[in-house]
Structure 1
Amino acid sequence: MQGATQTEDGGPVGRSVLWRHVTAATSRRAGGEATGAMPTRAGARSPERVVAGAIGRAADKIHRMPLFFDQIQWSEAALAELGELLPEGALVSMIEGPGDSLGVVAICPELLAAITEMQTAGRVSSRPAPSRRPTRTDGSICSDFINALLAELGADPSLLPGRDRIRGYRYASHLDDLRALDLLLEDGGFHLLSVGLRAGEAGQRNGRLVIAWPADPAQSPCEPGNDAEPADDCTGASSLADAVLDAPFELRGILCRRRISLRELAALAPGDVVALPPDVLGAATLETALGQVLFRGKLGEMAGRHALRLLAGADVAVAGVADPATAPPSAATVGPDGLSLGDLDSPDPFRAVHENLVPHDVDGAGPSHRTLPESA
Structure 2
Amino acid sequence: MAKSADELFDMPLAVTGVKHEVFQQDALQETMSDETLLVLLDGPDGARGVISFDIQTLAALIEVQTTGRVVPKPADARAPTPTDAAMMAPLVDDMLRRFAENLAEEEQGYWVRGYRFGVRLENLRMMGLALEAPDFNLLRVNLDLFAGAKQGEMVLVLPVVEKPRIPLAEGEKMPDIGAQMGEALMRLPAQIDAVLCRIVMPLSAIGKLKVGDVLPIEREALSDTILEVGKKHKLAESRLGQMNGFRAVRLIMDRPDGAMEAEEDHYGADLSGAAPDFAAKKDKGAPALADLGGAMDGDLGGDLGSDFGGLDDLSDLPDLSDLPDLDGGGDDDLPDLSDLGSFDGGGDLPDLGDLPDLGDLPDLGEFGELSDLPALE
TM-score of the two chains, using structure 1 as the length reference: 0.42
Larger helix percent? 1
